[in-house]
Structure 1
């Protein structure tokens, strides 16, 4: 790929030896300056790919901002910031994560110094450009990372506004786990004949994830089945997904009453509380991380098996985002889905969407875990 030697040193020092499939297919057009749309399943190294593409094209002698990387959450911004600095360690790259919780004047002061790459959520970047704290003259790369999640969080208008504030010749790189009509709309309006690298739908479920279901007659019977699972199995740690914040709160109370230790992520928590919950789980203080979809990036959440869907996701695309991340980089994983009789069709829809089979939970599940 003719990557610069200092960048290769950072890549190898970070622990990577061979590029993943999406990295092999996407890096060349990215570092050649083409607009690119890359869609691949969670955990295949898309953020790493985008970071390498940015670092390869940086003019290291120019100390002004040359690349913007937009992400959906402050946690993902912090994680991507760490990745860029680690990969660019031998290039002496300067990178700044513009996140909430930092004094605006401190942010403006930092951006006034030599910052070559800025990672942020859309609103923070827009604010800095509006205040003229961030100059766009040298910005030549614009990356939308986790683009489907950005759109799901309602950032579409801000993304449009940002793109209109930047040069029409800027290189736009879009990476996403799914490909929606909204993403294609952005491509049509703001990208110049983009190279599209899209995985087939049936390739999105990661190898190594064994998927099972537990069928109960009615919703209220799920809790007893969950208790039974914990009483009969030795589960060191697990992540349980629910579809609503109310269900997360209700289930956390029930599980604690059953003498299980639970950390919770929900919409009503501030950034400090969410970070504390994740830290608690990472340290092993809690056995269960109970959460709803699209709350936090998984950057700082360890790879856990099994994953339990107490509720099946209502959107098929969310399924791989829940269970696919557990099998990233070849790690093996197990997913257990609780369904009622009314949810059998939803399970069948997920199987068809991903061209996969989800089997009834076997009696020897303890041996598998």
Structure 2
């Protein structure tokens, strides 16, 4: 294993800058990819998010760029606005010459401002396919001097249907260029694209660390027959009580619908998906990191822009299509030595999908029933008991002793304590009461309407896919 960045072929000035930033030892993907890219080889890098792959392609690009040339020399394509921002910010942070300009281009921001920045000169452009094509069509982005082209999160790019856009963009770059694809998985479509556009590529691969899921407890709640997932989610959230969580769904509409339901039930939740403007996303991320919002309901693609420390739960409200996406989702919790919980909510017909998860991790999934009203009440009492123990050892308890003494002249001490506990319990119950609307209710009996049977509708929201 390479011990330092100096061994990878980076310039002394770059190595010193990295050391000053606190980067002293390259990650596995950096150690493998950087020497090949500096040598000018085309490459396919297989690595999960969080392995340091941005620096793996960013540092070689910055080493090769001619700062005296104001034209675009390197282009990095990303599937989302958030990733484009992250990559451009990281590359700007790695620069050691102020003349080098990195410009991020993506939808949701004024195209006029982006055109203006490009006219002033930019050696590196990081952007989403749609906005890059728009700028090319307007004549504001010229790629005839591009010497390096990187496709980041290539698997997500193809899953989002950007394949034709990518091909069109590649056609605007010189044939004699260096090209690199970075992806979490090597799908057939990526192999086909690489065979078409890369020349004798070197493949570097970093296996996902098995230890990364060692501290993640994986649980599956099976939705009872005849129940909807929204009805099952409420008691599950009551019993799990996540300190912070990302709740994964498939579509923007489901994210919006589910968020409205959680907020109506008194929970601290917000939605995160592609329909939000960039400023809305940034505000939400800041609130989430500051714990002003406890739970975020997000689609897979949008959630790639969410990076939060100490995430207690990942909840798969809807399972992803492939196993790699599942691993990527749950890997957001259980980090830095902390314990994490990965909760999946499945219908009986979906249980078979989790057999692949069991094979991947070589251990059985823990299956649970949706909590009953009695279990939820017991959980609340357990939490109340914990809070009472903490209060007994606190310094503030002394200020309430005179009240206890005064009441003790009229009532038994145990009765006073029980009354105080009842007040505290009732005050903490609003969300539990709402959850009880979804738990343990007997199925309503059909009623006769004009000779036909009709069943009253259960309280539910749309979960259209």
Distance change in 2, residues 1:63/1:249 (3 Å): closer
CA deviation after TM superposition for structure 1 residue 290, in Å: 0.9
| Cα distance in 1 between the residues matched to 2:260 and 2:131 | 36
| Cα distance in 2 between the residues matched to 1:330 and 1:28 | 32
Which of residues 141, 162, 170 is equivalent to 1:163? Answer: 170
Task: Give CA-to-partner distance per residue, 1:306-348, whole Å, 9 cap, x none.
Answer: 2111222232232123122446787764322223332221001
Distance change in 2, residues 1:82/1:169 (3 Å): same
SS in 1 for 2:100: coil
Match of 1:318 in 2: 325
SS in 2 for 1:183: helix
Task: Give CA-to-partner distance per residue, 1:159-198, whole Å, 9 cap, x none.
Answer: 1111111111110011011111111111111110101123
CA deviation after TM superposition for structure 1 residue 109, in Å: 2.4
CA deviation after TM superposition for structure 1 residue 90, in Å: 5.2
CA contact (8 A) 2:54 2:87 kept: yes
Distance change in 2, residues 1:15/1:305 (3 Å): farther
- Write the mapping of 1:117-156 to structure 2, written as runs, cut at 5 A: 117-156=124-163
- Write the mapping of 1:1-369 to structure 2, written as runs, cut at 5 A: 1-89=8-96, 92-199=99-206, 206-218=212-224, 220=227, 226-232=233-239, 235-298=242-305, 301-302=308-309, 304-326=311-333, 333-352=340-359, 354-357=360-363, 359-360=365-366
CA contact (8 A) 1:147 1:183 kept: yes
Distance change in 2, residues 1:273/1:29 (3 Å): same
CA deviation after TM superposition for structure 1 residue 85, in Å: 0.7
Instruction: Give the aligned CA root-mean-square deviation in angstroms.
Output: 3.0
SS in 1 for 2:262: helix
| Cα distance in 2 between the residues matched to 1:6 and 1:248 | 46
| Cα distance in 1 between the residues matched to 2:346 and 2:252 | 19
Q: TM-score, normalised by structure 2?
A: 0.70
| Cα distance in 2 between the residues matched to 1:31 and 1:129 | 28
Q: TM-score, normalised by structure 1?
A: 0.87
Distance change in 2, residues 1:52/1:207 (3 Å): farther
Q: Which structure carries more relative contact order (alpha carbon 8 Å, separation 6+)?
A: 1
| Cα distance in 2 between the residues matched to 1:101 and 1:225 | 36
| Cα distance in 2 between the residues matched to 1:247 and 1:32 | 47
| Cα distance in 2 between the residues matched to 1:327 and 1:94 | 37
SS in 2 for 1:295: helix
| Cα distance in 2 between the residues matched to 1:121 and 1:94 | 18
Gaps of 5+ in 2: 1-7, 369-374, 383-465
Distance change in 2, residues 1:99/1:10 (3 Å): farther
**Structure exhibiting the larger radius of gyration computed from Cα positions:** 2
Distance change in 2, residues 1:143/1:327 (3 Å): farther
Equivalences, count: 364
| Cα distance in 1 between the residues matched to 2:305 and 2:35 | 27
SS in 2 for 1:142: strand
CA deviation after TM superposition for structure 1 residue 199, in Å: 4.2
Gaps of 5+ in 1: none
Distance change in 2, residues 1:104/1:244 (3 Å): closer
Task: Give CA-to-partner distance per residue, 1:273-303, whole Å, 9 cap, x none.
Answer: 3333333322322110011222343255555
